[in-house]
Structure 1
């Protein structure tokens, strides 16, 4: 029965050879011809893809000067040309996998028949696939179907149909590519375990060298690995890897590419791989390190939201030149850590920085007291603390900026107009679950204040009075216009669910933001900043005000190029004139007294001898659970926030620089304490040497 089966296999292979040759050399007619031609088209396109389309490559992320900070990849691969691979590597692979490589034209019929005879007679099992066929299979598995398990399974099926297709593609490929190109192509796609693909990456990862410098010993180990890379991993299975290396050395002797004496000598040598595991970069933003990881994470998130799928970002071989300023980012992080040590449990201190402008708002720094990384015991995190909505308790009274702007635009309020500031105020327009909505002030204030003084001193009653006067919809719309775009996707203007019955729609990707209805529960509390808030977007609010009312997306990208150096267009939202320039300039003047005596950040400003013109606004939330300071100079806007990213119940105690910690009860943090100190300490150093620029003049219309 065994001999008969073997003969049938041989007959089948002979027939297969005839079909292959006939399908390539002779035309086919009739219905069968249509099918055959369709199959030929598929084979033709597949062989063209292998010949012309490069496999996945890693993406490089750089700072604004072009210096790399991280790599992103699913497959660690270093593209390698034929002349960049050592002869030792080439002959090691050919000797163990396909000794007749330079003799056949894609399919080794002599080897195929020999394998069939060996298999049918109970000898060693031999696959008989040429390197060209293996190139086809590896390309399908590691490139074409890299994210498709079913496709990968089909590419490895032991069926005549699959073998036929693979063989036809291999034969076509040999008409398109030289032997040197096919060999290099194979060595660029084959897997070497641990996300390492291709000989260029393998040379670096395993031996800290380049593929042109691989010696016989190193080459033999790598050539042996392709048979089963996971099992033959030299760190997990050094004995197995060494035995397989020795088999390759013997095959080189049999192939007359190595003397027997040299082979025996090399077998006694150690594998020589780098100690402790592969020498390769991190596959994601962890590679940017503790200081730049948050910025890298924002770059990734931003590009994905801009329409580049994550797999494409990780496989595309892009070079992303970012807007990151290393000096500014370093000073920002240093200031954040000085106020709140990185190991402080459940307290984050973030500083996000944006350059104002009418054409672009470039993000230059995203820093936090905590390090970016995977070691939780060292206080590291991969939460995008400075650039996403992790401050779930809110930014406090900094939201009064939106109420002030809406009152100026819709109620004709000027920055020097007198407004009431009673100790307690009950809303005449809104209720709290049917009961009167009443707020009080945290300190003593004069009975009346100008809007400018109210922004500096921050009485709650003045701004809830303005909410009654203006209504919630203009205020919530103003928050969105000035910069809280993503924040408002999880914020209905009252910290609750989005109310779809209201107006004020703004398209955001495939979602819409809807403002709240009149008399919604707790609605006036929006002006007190009780809702989850994105720190970077608050920095961009300040940038919008300092840009004459021009909102631009907070971009982290200067330029993106593809693997060939061609520019790639990033689909970024266009800048918008969201409020008129007179209003924005007047609002800036209205926010210009926070750092002066009587202002809520005056102590922090005085401590660093601050003297530059600036805008600013502090914020503190209920139970002193978080604090914020938002401000900027004409050259740079920034937002500092101190909050609890995990288990936000309770407050934060601020006992001075380096003595800030979380408590389960009431805290004592204020926006004018560690948030303002973080902001001023960083900005003082960052702005050294920069010219002093004045704020714009207020318009008579809004005075």
Structure 2
């Protein structure tokens, strides 16, 4: 086959010359590579004609389209189709994702059947002993006000500043969100919010205040649900009655009462603008705390109302020229310390509150005002001199009912309750528990103990004056607050027994049973210390300090009524009699000589902690037990403020006013007798005569320069021993 082809073809020798060269180099159809567009037979014929007819001009040919342009149009058609395809795919998946997010958000919402408009928060009204309203606590909400009853500019103020397109959107405002996003971007922070009034209502009704994407999505979904379920006016009315306005006020009615002392139905345009401005930052802009900020924000609201054509420019300018001023709300001041204390115990008394309630308390509004003035005025006059920044006072009846409580000098500046929460070293105010333990162990007020230097494993307690009186009675030692005698007696009866006595009388704080316990080194609160003194005033009965007497609903249903304490006798009446006489000496010749209530028998004990950090005085009559504490919150030393100084002055000012017009009564006796004298007479027949005693050491004449008590008796029966002590107390002495 190969040989045959070679023979038939023959070998052609090369020819030279231009024509020969062109003829030889011309390609024929058979020499070209065939392709899909080639048609060999037709091309062969045409090519042959062309080759034979060299003189004829070539026939005209129609221009063929460019192959590159065709390819571009083809690719363009392919790109558009692909774009449409992937756009459809992306849109489908986006729709699936949106549906998935909606389903996921909805799955984390409360069950749809529970998405009903909740009741407004309950109001807790706190009233005094005379029925007057002292304070309001809880989530304080005023009565619901119908939209038609409000002045028309009030709801318009909220629409102008919070949601200008309220009546045109469907719960979520895309333009508002975009506007807020642009503003926040320009200000490089959060300067505007895009939430509609409906979204804000959804958040207030059903959601928390946390700022998360999930919460915002839930807010939007609930906003659509609210718009579908309620009309625009219903949503606006709900919003105005539920939104928070600061200072514990929920709803426009409560806010108007709190800040302006009037109903929301009667607020002026300027007041309406101030209320609308509060919702942006109620805690920061509350007019009773930041009147300048609230007024500036109100001007912004008025400008927005004018811009929205809700009011004229003239009305806006007139309102700016007559700004709204806040009023002092009822119950402001130190009574709020009492209200806070009540709020802490309500859950224990009635559980969770889901309706309006009225709490009837033991607080006497008149005594509360007197106590507040006594603490604040005395501190204003002498706080700089003694470097004392804070004070507290608690007064309670012999059954433990708190009549007045001051937890600090300024509630607006500090809500820390120094009467209930703060625990401080009581100093010598703790000594009555030491001497009561000694009396219960068999010692008497006339028992002699040495006032002399003492060394306990390197600890050397000293007296305030750094002087020692030698042999003194327990009465003298307590009245003059001699530290060495208190430590000796505490060790003699045992620190553990002293701690048990204090706990039995009502101290609930942890007490360390060491040698220094006699000097009050373990911390206690003012309220529990005053409560522990009450048995001295009521004949030895145990009590629990309390302020809540009854809790009832607004309709009158009683939820709680306090029952009398069943603690029984915690001090033997005979021992109460002796302790009362010993602590009465503190006011007559001891460290509290300035404490004086004309016509009344009073007793008590001063206290000063180490380095003058705390100054105390707890004193009582048969009608009232009152304790005063003064010091600094940071536990820094005062300028030698002692219990016998400023605390006694505060106590005396309060107690004198509190006892005006009150029938005089002596300190209690055993078995409900007529006074201390019968109590002592009974004690004389029941207690064995003590051992022989050394002569009483005279009390130094300091302070008021009162003469020291004498041992001279007006009756020959006043012999040595307990009988002699009783007879001298009954008939002897120069008092």
TM class, shorter-length: 0.5 to 0.7
Distance 1:268 1:235 in 2: 16
**Change beyond 3 A, Cα 1:223–1:596:** closer
Q: Which residue of 2 aligns with 1:78?
A: 142
Distance 2:277 2:203 in 1: 17
Q: Does structure 1 retain, via aligned residues, the 8 Å contact 2:145–2:253?
A: no
Q: Does structure 1 retain, via aligned residues, the 8 Å contact 2:437–2:497?
A: yes
Q: How does 1:435-446 map to 2 (within 5 A)?
A: 435=458, 442=465, 443-445=467-469
Q: Which residue of 1 aligns with 2:665?
A: 693
- From 442, 453, 463, the counterpart of 1:424: 453
Q: How does 1:664-703 map to 2 (within 5 A)?
A: 667=640, 670-695=642-667, 696=669, 697-698=679-680, 700=683
Q: Does structure 2 retain, via aligned residues, the 8 Å contact 1:484–1:541?
A: yes
SS in 1 for 2:651: helix
- From 381, 393, 398, the counterpart of 1:352: 393
1:253-293 superposed Cα distances (whole Å, 9 cap, x missing partner): xxxxxxxxxx6x576543726966663767xxxx855xx42
1:448-505 superposed Cα distances (whole Å, 9 cap, x missing partner): 42x44443343333322222222111212222332332xx24xx43xxxxxxxxxxxx
How far 1:143 moved relative to its partner?
Answer: 3.6
Q: Does structure 2 retain, via aligned residues, the 8 Å contact 1:351–1:641?
A: yes
1:270 aligns with 2:330: no
Q: Which residue of 2 aligns with 1:534?
A: 525
- From 54, 67, 89, the counterpart of 2:132: 67
Q: How does 1:49-448 map to 2 (within 5 A)?
A: 50=117, 52-54=118-120, 56=121, 59-72=124-137, 77-82=141-146, 85-86=149-150, 88=152, 92=156, 137-150=199-212, 154-157=214-217, 166-168=223-225, 171=228, 173-174=229-230, 183-190=236-243, 197-201=250-254, 210-213=263-266, 235-236=295-296, 240-246=300-306, 248-249=308-309, 269-270=316-317, 272=319, 279=326, 288-289=331-332, 292-293=333-334, 295-304=335-344, 307=347, 319-336=358-375, 340-342=379-381, 344-345=383-384, 346-347=387-388, 350=391, 352-358=393-399, 361-367=400-406, 371-374=409-412, 382-389=415-422, 392=424, 394-409=425-440, 411=441, 413-416=442-445, 418-426=447-455, 431-432=456-457, 435=458, 442=465, 443-445=467-469, 447-448=471-472
1:144-188 superposed Cα distances (whole Å, 9 cap, x missing partner): 3345444xx54532xxx87555544655x55xxx98765532321
1:594 aligns with 2:658: no
Distance 2:476 2:538 in 1: 23
Q: Does structure 2 retain, via aligned residues, the 8 Å contact 1:614–1:632?
A: yes
Distance 1:65 1:278 in 2: 31
**Change beyond 3 A, Cα 1:61–1:88:** same
1:228-269 superposed Cα distances (whole Å, 9 cap, x missing partner): 78999984456753453245546xxxxxxxxxxxx6x57654
Distance 1:400 1:337 in 2: 28
Q: Does structure 1 retain, via aligned residues, the 8 Å contact 2:609–2:615?
A: yes
- From 474, 479, 490, the counterpart of 2:497: 474
Q: Does structure 2 retain, via aligned residues, the 8 Å contact 1:408–1:414?
A: yes
Q: Does structure 2 retain, via aligned residues, the 8 Å contact 1:353–1:636?
A: no
Distance 1:570 1:551 in 2: 19
Q: Which residue of 2 aligns with 1:456?
A: 479
Q: Which residue of 2 aligns with 1:635?
A: 623
1:421-441 superposed Cα distances (whole Å, 9 cap, x missing partner): 242345xxxx44xx4666568
Q: Does structure 1 retain, via aligned residues, the 8 Å contact 2:122–2:141?
A: yes
1:179-199 superposed Cα distances (whole Å, 9 cap, x missing partner): 876553232124678986533
Distance 2:105 2:383 in 1: 69
**Change beyond 3 A, Cα 1:94–1:690:** closer
Q: Does structure 2 retain, via aligned residues, the 8 Å contact 1:335–1:681?
A: yes
Distance 1:45 1:616 in 2: 59
- From 595, 604, 629, the counterpart of 2:594: 604
Distance 2:607 2:434 in 1: 14
Distance 2:206 2:110 in 1: 17
Distance 2:272 2:589 in 1: 76
SS in 2 for 1:399: helix
How far 1:635 moved relative to its partner?
Answer: 0.7
Q: Radius of gyration: which is bigger?
A: 2
Q: Does structure 1 retain, via aligned residues, the 8 Å contact 2:273–2:298?
A: no
Q: How does 1:614-633 map to 2 (within 5 A)?
A: 614-633=602-621
**Change beyond 3 A, Cα 1:536–1:227:** closer
SS in 2 for 1:641: strand
**Change beyond 3 A, Cα 1:186–1:274:** farther
Distance 1:457 1:237 in 2: 61
**Change beyond 3 A, Cα 1:330–1:237:** closer
**Change beyond 3 A, Cα 1:99–1:458:** closer
Q: Does structure 2 retain, via aligned residues, the 8 Å contact 1:600–1:672?
A: yes
How far 1:633 moved relative to its partner?
Answer: 0.8
Distance 1:534 1:350 in 2: 13
How far 1:337 moved relative to its partner?
Answer: 5.8
Distance 1:543 1:113 in 2: 62
Give TM-score scaled by structure 1 length. 0.63
Q: Does structure 1 retain, via aligned residues, the 8 Å contact 2:364–2:404?
A: yes
Gaps of 5+ in 2: 1-82, 183-194, 286-292, 670-678, 688-721, 723-735
Distance 1:204 1:569 in 2: 29
CA RMSD of aligned residues (A): 5.3
1:23-82 superposed Cα distances (whole Å, 9 cap, x missing partner): xxxxxxxxx9xx9999998112112xx0x521x3665444433434444466x7533232
**Change beyond 3 A, Cα 1:164–1:625:** closer
Distance 1:115 1:458 in 2: 75
SS in 2 for 1:544: helix
How far 1:529 moved relative to its partner?
Answer: 2.0
How far 1:636 moved relative to its partner?
Answer: 0.2
- From 576, 579, 596, the counterpart of 1:585: 576
- The structure with higher relative contact order (CA 8 Å, sep 6+) is 1
Gaps of 5+ in 1: 21-31, 102-107, 126-132, 251-262, 376-380, 494-515, 517-522, 653-661
- From 108, 115, 128, the counterpart of 1:46: 115
Give TM-score scaled by structure 2 length. 0.61
